[in-house]
Chain A
């Protein structure tokens, strides 16, 4: 069965960076786009961007450009999200989410499997 298992929660100081991992199993990791979504307390989800695990290409939401980096290690089926220059309003649960679209064919993008979420708290 498809599973996405994320790294554990953490507390970071303003200005620091955080790196969250997402280990995939139960499917061909390089076969599906992977997205990162965050959700601040009491708010709706916010899409941050995607990575094509096959090619390594990425697409980031404009508001995170320059602060976000999405990478992957295909040898261990793991995607990574790194967010730098953290601010207090970056406090949120960060999710990885698999796209039902494959990396060779994409008709109707939607996020069919999600990680359990990683709480990142930014506080001095």
Chain B
């Protein structure tokens, strides 16, 4: 199976900062990479699909890029509501596995 590795596992930042989270696949997954945000006690929420397409209703400060094996999620100008956990997911082939997550803290 293709493994998904996220880094960092945790990240401290301040309101207004720009942060970048990376996700690496163990094999080429083209652009089949999604990003989710999850807040405590809630289900994940889709932010980005197909590596760089913004899901409807998601603020434009969320930006996804990459293809092949290396992907990034960038959040420009962090807002208080952005402090949460973030997960990547590959959907190139089943299993549609997730990364282990990045916890973004104040």
- Seen from chain A, the residues whose Cβ lies within 8 Å of a Cβ on chain B are 35, 43-47, 50, 59, 61-62, 95, 97, 100, 107-112, 114-117
Pairs A-B, 4 closest by C-beta atoms: A114-B43, A110-B49, A109-B91, A108-B50
For B46, the chain A residues whose CB sits under 8 A away are: 100, 110-112
Taken residue by residue from 10 to 46, chain B's Cβ proximity to chain A (1 for < 8 Å, 0 otherwise) reads as 0000000000000000000001101010000001111
State in angstroms the CA–CA spacing of A50 and B96 once bound together. Answer: 10
Residue picked from A62, A108, A110, A115, most chain B C-beta under 10 Å: A110
State in angstroms the CA–CA spacing of A45 and B90 once bound together. Answer: 12
For the complex, count residues of B whose C-beta is within 8 A of A.
24
Closest to A93 in B: B43
29 contacts across the A-B interface (CB closer than 8 A): A43-B100, A44-B87, A44-B101, A45-B98, A46-B97, A47-B89, A47-B94, A47-B95, A47-B97, A47-B98, A61-B94, A97-B43, A97-B44, A100-B49, A107-B50, A108-B32, A108-B49, A108-B53, A108-B91, A109-B96, A110-B49, A110-B55, A110-B91, A111-B34, A111-B36, A111-B89, A114-B43, A116-B43, A117-B43
- Our count of residue pairs bridging A and B at CB distance below 8 angstroms stands at 63
Taken residue by residue from 62 to 96, chain B's Cβ proximity to chain A (1 for < 8 Å, 0 otherwise) reads as 00000000000000000000000001010100111
State in angstroms the CA–CA spacing of A114 and B55 once bound together. Answer: 14
Contact A110:B87 (CB < 8 A) given known A45-B98, A61-B94: no
Closest to B34 in A: A110
Give chain B nearest CB distance to A77 CB in angstroms: 19
Give chain A nearest CB distance to B64 CB in angstroms: 11
CB < 8 Å neighbour of A115 from B43, B87, B96, B99: B43
